[in-house]
Chain A
């Protein structure tokens, strides 16, 4: 019998939500464990098998000097490294520090700032090491995660579309909030993957899957400005879980002061 590939799950600064998606696969979870040996997944098991590992899933962003070193070690012992979620692919909500003075942040939360070790910026994994594939979302979609793992097992490219939330929304036949003068919606510039969840709940998209390929954020915001939205509102709209992703970062900076 062929050896089953080994899986390791790693965590950096994050909320654990993306790796929880793996446990949330419930029925499929036991099926996955028949084709992959869970070798290192501390949230689920005490047992840690020695590396190297065939597949590493990485959650979270780099925020400490120690972690900046740790990710290099992980890269060296991983044949394939896939990042999961907005923290790992864009720096996450904790990247809001990148726009401010982190020392001030430390002193707001902790009385003895000297005890806290942190970097001034929260950065995505790909800023530090080569990443084989990035899966977006805050949190990731578990079906997409299963697709990525399946694609890996079958040696093919994952089928993860790069178009916008808008395309999913149209396909579901949801009435467009932008056309119907509903709440501001980042659907046109946001990466698909959630199946247009917010619009289906009568709510505008707030970009939790991050920017799609080549988004035209400027034309969207100039439209909203004409209809009376203020710069501070636009700034906040782009400064969420994917605030440090290039396209969203540039857009939010253009509305600063």
Chain B
């Protein structure tokens, strides 16, 4: 078999800028790279010297697709440093805000970015000509996710209502109640989305991954969003503060993103598939049943099926949002009071694409001395490259055009967010 190089200079339908590069020799893949050339923006550097109160608004600007995740990890890390906890209805409201972002982000990926691959379309707009009702349903669900973020956060991109300690302003019961009707529709639409994604054709591609996700205490048995211990499918079980002891970031030449690895074992996998495999028992039984009906009987180790898991999580987020709204009573104050104090704080929350870690060191006036941020995509980058290598090896019989498309699809399984990671794809198949 001939030697070839596949190269995609601008990977489409991912958030941010990256390229894909694959080199084969005598029918074997000798190099597979996900190159991130999104220019670096140096957030960790310019956070130094800023007030602790500014971190949620500044770090939101790392990513326009998941700003809530940045705000949540930032506020939890700061509250950890200041020694305060935010509980009760304020905690529930934060969860509601996150439900909105999960819905918006998952639906964007399922309908607009990933489904076109499975259905053979260049994009959702062209897909809409063949399946108008499907695309319209996706857009309406996405709009509902945005409506939740807008109501609780003030606006869908870079919300302004999140602060360390809670919120600036609380929604009323009536305002939240107004979302119920559309949420009820979206819950049913999420069920249809599960059925739709389960009907797609998946390449056989089961891999031995180490899945990493948050898991809450048994005292609070819920699907993880804002807190929990960091656990893995290969026995890791640590507190968020121990993150740096077990995970390392490596700076590789072909990428403006840092690659993360578990010090003891190497590459790992974060995101919906990891959360689902490690927290399936925390899903309400009706949702577990829906997942089973969609073919997810045991652990799911085929990343192409992450599109079904995203649909399952979308259903969960709709149910959870409905529950929170039903049980909502506005608390007495919109936020817990905060006093600056010297110390280090750790925060890790489940962004739509997986765990997002923040660490801040503060001085006595609450000024940031040091910041560290590890986004999900840089944690998945090694795993994505491994997948590319293994997937391409099995599919070298395809012509360049088909191989390129399927490799792109393999990358899009991770819903990679390159803007986040630069802190990402073009496919190159090179002959040697």
With A15-B61, A236-B51 given, is the CB distance from A116 to B256 under 8 Å? yes
A89 to B48, alpha carbons, bound, how many Å? 25
Instruction: Kindly identify, within residues 55 to 76 of chain A, every residue whose CB is under 8 Å from any CB belonging to chain B.
Output: 63-64, 67
Nearest 3 A-B pairs (CB), nearest first? A17-B64, A45-B123, A105-B45
Question: Could you tell me if A20 and B65 are in contact, using CB atoms closer than 8 angstroms?
Answer: yes
Q: Which residues of B contact A (CB under 8 A)?
A: 10-17, 38-46, 48, 50-51, 54, 57-58, 61-65, 67, 108, 112, 116, 122-126, 128, 135-136, 139-140, 142-143, 146, 154-158, 160-161, 168-169, 250-253, 256, 258, 334, 405, 408, 419, 423
Interface of chain A residues 101 through 125 with chain B (CB within 8 A):
102, 104-106, 108-112, 115-116, 118
Partner of B10, one of A13, A42, A194: A42
- Tell me which of A14, A21, A45, A116 has the highest count of chain B C-beta atoms within 10 A of its own C-beta: A45
- CB < 8 Å neighbour of A45 from B63, B122, B405, B408: B122
Knowing A43-B13, A203-B168 are in contact, say whether A93-B44 is a contact too (CB < 8 A).
no
Bound Cα distance from A145 to B403, whole angstroms = 37
Q: Are A46 and B13 in contact (CB under 8 A)?
A: yes
Q: Contacts A44-B112, A208-B158: A109 and B423 contacting too (C-beta < 8 A)?
A: yes
Q: Is A4 located at the chain interface by the 8 A CB criterion?
A: no
A46 touches B143 (CB 8 A): no
A106 to B41 CA separation, bound complex (whole angstroms)? 9
Closest to B422 in A: A13
Known A26-B142, A33-B125: A42·B157 in contact at CB below 8 Å: no
Q: Which residue of B lies closest to A94 (CB)?
A: B41
- A interface, size bucket: 35 or more
Q: Does A170 touch B at the CB level, under 8 Å?
A: no
Q: When the two chains form their complex, are residues B15 and A16 in contact, meaning their CB atoms are under 8 A apart?
A: yes
| A249 CB within 8 Å of chain B | no
Which residue from A33, A48, A108, A203 sits with its C-beta under 8 Å from B45? Answer: A108
- Alpha-carbon gap, A92 to B158, bound state (A): 14
Closest B residue to A204 by beta carbon equals B168
Q: Is the CB of B46 within 8 A of A96?
A: yes
Question: Does A223 make an interface contact (CB < 8 A)?
Answer: no
Residues of B within 8 A of A225 (CB): none
- Asked if A202 meets B108 with Cβ closer than 8 Å, knowing A16-B63, A197-B155, A241-B61, the reply is no
CB distance from B224 to the nearest CB of A (A): 25
Contact flags A170-192 to B (C-beta < 8 A → 1, else 0): 00000000000000000000000
Q: Which residues of B contact A100 (CB under 8 A)?
A: 45-46
